[in-house]
Amino acid sequence: MSVTRKKTCRVLLVEDDPDHRDLILSKISKVAWFPVKVQWESLASEGISILKSGRFDIVLLDLSLPDSRPEDTLRAFADEFPALPIVVLTSLADEDLVENAISWGAQDFLDKSTVTSELMARSLRYAIKRKESLNHLRKQNEALRTFSHTVAHEVKSPLQSVVTALHLIRESALPKDEKNTLGRLVDLGIDSTTHLTNLVNELLAFAKYDGENFAKQPVELSALVEDVIREVRAFHVMDDAEVIVEGEMPVVMGAALQLRQVVLNLISNAFKYRDERPLKVTVSAKLQKNGWMISIEDNGVGISETDLPKVSNLFYRVSGHSEIPGTGIGLSFSKQIIERHGGYLEVESSLGEGSKFSFFLPA
Ligand code: ADP
């Protein structure tokens, strides 16, 4: 809804402390810009069930509730009601959580000790506006994904026939060592269609991703990393790369297949973007304040300062890397997966020295 003077803004306040509740209600009652109607609940479970049955424009959410741990409350509401704006009510004790509130799906936060009715009005209004824009973008994104999926799906079968036909021509009609123009053209056709097939497969995985259910479970990263290393090594059989897994890999909460996709993208990139030096890839995990930072470091070609901020944009490829097969989808896909886990992806790199891709997963 757009908040105008005429429309009533329906607010659900989830706050267990009666004094804080009264304080917030008193600030809301003085909001003069638009009419506000508030309903109050004191438990996370009650808040969620009332949201399922009633229509609300926004939630004012205290994170420390009797039936929910502070680190779980926001995720529970944001996952259950992805289109609903949430403003987190904080106190000094929540300082660490506030840092993560926005990336976990809140539109704003209000400090209970300093909130005024003016700040309250502004926060409600802009949180709703921000969420509206976000929902609009999300819809457009979904439409684009559906479109990509349809196109990729339609292209896949005919493309497969072309690839098979080209291989058959190469194997049966042309001798293996044929280096005449026809042989070279068929090889070129095989390379291009192989690239297109990779692109179509990655687009299909990318387009399918958002529609999938996102169920978190304990994921043993040590087994996952070993499995990925085996797969990447099988693909680069001739490679003499040294791959080191440093220390213990943790068990994290996440969607196993999607996390595997991220680790696979990062380790296979380390193999792909190497230079003539012997390749060394190091996988490590560091415990941080609120979660784990997993890093994949290589001593490959590296990325320049100009390219670095753009490498996780969809379809972006460093211009000098065009000889190496790739689609520019993997990092963008990985970034989305990690952000969907409430984390972030970062990269440090130095041209000619190597790159370190790290992703943070909240505990
Ligand atoms: P792809 O490898 O299929 O092109 P990605 O999205 O995985 O797509 O990567 C985007 C671009 O970032 C790559 O094309 C490459 O230019 C650069 N890149 C990714 N990983 C590395 C790395 N480990 N070292 C150097 N460049 C990299």
Report the residue among 296, 317, 356 best suited for mutation to probe ligand 1: largest number of ligand atoms under 8 A from its CB: 317
**Ligand 1 near 291 CB (within 6 A):** no
Question: Which of 10-14, 24-28, 94-98, 199-203 comes out lowest in average pLDDT?
Answer: 94-98
One domain for residues 13 and 106: yes
Which residue's alpha carbon is nearest to atom 10 within ligand 1?
328
Given a cut of 80, whether residue 92 has pLDDT beyond it is no
pLDDT (tens digit, 9 = 90+) per residue, 45-85? Answer: 999 999 998 789 999 999 989 999 887 899 899 989 988 99
Compute the average pLDDT of residues 113-138. Answer: 91
Q: What number does the ligand 1 atom closest to the CA of 357 have?
A: 23
Among 82, 110, 137, the domain-final residue is: 137
CATH number for the domain spanning 31: value is 3.40.50.2300
More confident residue, 231 or 100: 231
Q: Indicate which CATH number applies to the domain containing 350.
A: 3.30.565.10
> What is the per-residue pLDDT for 310?
96
Classify residue 151: in a domain, yes or no. no
Distance 311 CA to ligand 1 centre (A): 7
Q: What is the pLDDT of residue 185?
A: 87
Give me the number of domains the chain comprises. Answer: 2
273 lines ligand 1 (CB under 6 A): yes
Q: What are 243-277's pLDDT values in tens digits?
A: 999 989 999 999 888 899 899 999 999 999 999 99
Check pLDDT > 60 for residue 4: no
Domain that holds residue 97: 9-137
Let me know whether 340 and 246 are in one domain: yes
Looking at the fold, whether 244 and 110 belong to one and the same domain comes out as no
> Does 276 map to a domain?
yes
Cβ–Cβ under 8 Å, residues 109 and 101: yes
Closest atom of ligand 1 relative to the 354 alpha carbon? 24
For residues 129-153, one letter each, b for 16 or more C-beta atoms within 10 angstroms of the residue's C-beta and e for the rest, the string is eebeeeeeeeeeeeeebeebbeebe
- Specify the pLDDT at position 269: 97
> Would you say residue 172 lies in a domain?
no
Q: Is there a single domain that holds both residue 226 and residue 356?
A: yes
With 70 as the cut, is the pLDDT of residue 316 above it?
yes
Pocket flag, ligand 1, residue 331 (CB < 6 Å): yes
188 in a structural domain: no
Mean pLDDT (whole number) for 4-26 = 88
Integer angstrom CA distances of residue 225 from 13, 217, 244: 43, 17, 11
Whether 170 is in a domain gets the answer: no
What pLDDT score was predicted for residue 211? 46
* CA–centroid distance, residue 328 to ligand 1 (Å): 7
Q: What is the pLDDT of residue 101?
A: 82
- What is the CA(228)–ligand 1 centre distance, in A? 17
Question: Cβ distance 6 to 98 under 8 Å?
Answer: no
Residue where a domain terminates, one of 100, 117, 137: 137
Please tell me if the CB atom of residue 333 comes closer than 6 angstroms to any atom of ligand 1. Answer: no
Contact 76, 63 (CB under 8 A): no
Could you report the per-residue pLDDT of 138-187, keeping only the tens digit for each?
Answer: 888 888 888 888 888 898 889 999 999 999 998 888 776 666 778 888 88
- Same domain assignment for residues 219 and 124: no
User: Which residue has 């949430």 as its token pair?
Assistant: 86
**262 Cβ below 6 A of ligand 1:** no
Assigned token pair, 307: 């390219």
Residue ending a domain, among 109, 137, 165, is 137
Residue with the bigger pLDDT between 305 and 290: it is 305
Helix ranges restricted to H, 81-214: 95-101, 117-168, 181-209
355 lines ligand 1 (CB under 6 A): yes
Contacts 24+ apart (CB under 8 A), 249-252: 249/220, 249/221, 249/222, 249/224, 249/225, 249/283, 249/285, 249/294, 250/221, 250/285, 250/287, 250/292, 251/218, 251/219, 251/220, 251/221, 252/218, 252/219, 252/221, 252/291, 252/292, 252/361, 252/363
Structural domain contains residue 346: yes
Q: Say yes or no: CB of residue 311 within 6 Å of ligand 1.
A: yes
Residue 293 has pLDDT above 80, yes or no: yes
Q: Do 125 and 240 sit in the same domain of this protein?
A: no
Please give the model's pTM, rounded to 2 decimal places.
0.66
- 269 ligand 1 Cβ < 6 A: yes
Mean pLDDT of the chain: 88
Residues 13 and 132 in one domain: yes
Q: What is the pLDDT of residues 178-212, one digit of tens each?
A: 667 788 888 889 888 988 888 888 888 777 766 45
pLDDT at 188: 86
Instruction: Say yes or no: CB of residue 299 within 6 Å of ligand 1.
Output: no
Whether 201 is covered by a domain: the verdict is no
Please tell me the residue having the least CA distance from ligand 1 atom 13.
Answer: 317
Asked whether residue 157 is domain-assigned, the answer is: no
The per-residue pLDDT for 49 is: 95
Regarding the beta carbon of 354 and ligand 1, being less than 6 Å apart is answered no
Atom of ligand 1 nearest to the CA of 318: 16
Percentage of the chain surpassing pLDDT 70? 94
Q: Which two tokens stand for residue 191?
A: 């390379």
CA–CA distance, 212 with 286 (Å, rounded to integer): 29
The pLDDT of 229-253, averaged and rounded, is 90
Q: How far is the CA of 81 from the centre of ligand 1 (A)?
A: 35
